[in-house]
Homo-oligomer: A and B are copies of this chain.
Amino acid sequence: MSRARTAAFLGMSLDGCIAGPQDELDWLGRQGGPPEDHGFEPFLAGVDLVLMGRRTWDVVRAFPSWPYGEKPVAVLTHRPGEARHGERFLAGEPAEVLQRLEAGGARRIYLDGGAVVSQFLAAGLLDELTISVLPVVLGAGIRLFQETGPERWLQLREHRAWPSGLVQLRYAAPDRSLGR
């Protein structure tokens, strides 16, 4: 059996940030104009587990509403917390974590947050990456790409712009993707 596939879906500023310096996300909705559907719902519907880092979990669980619906969620951390949405906590290197999630039946895994995405990319275990580039230079913030290891080329699969000026870019690792 081939290994499970991994995909990320993130908003990013032109200067590479996914959040402000204090994890602020309000800028993601600041440009005004009518609401736009950037495809998060079908993306989420296409995965069977969400894996995120501790920092992302800390930010997301403070949201007024939990964005992952009923999807199983795993948090990569050495400091387990109080699960309010059935989250499980685990720690380990990407390859080992992936094997454990596969053993639990996960076949398509949504990686959320800069740390986890960067770790899996560095390990050669990020298969698909959708980045929505907002037309803003934040000036400071949390970067999507952190310790990503050696130079890594991806394949552009799709690009699309919205009236707000958001450009969504979908990449796959060579010969890997969720097969959508």
Contacts and interface: CB of A to CB of B under 8 A. Distances in A.
Given A139-B148, A149-B139, A152-B139, A133 B165 contact: no
A92 B133 CA distance: 33
Interface stretch (A47-55, A63-71, A74-82, A155-163): A155-163
Interface in A159-180: 159, 161, 165-167, 169, 171
Nearest to A171: B135
Contacts of A139: 145, 148-152
Contact of A155 (B14, B145, B165, B171): B165
A155 to B, nearest CB: 6
A87 interface: no
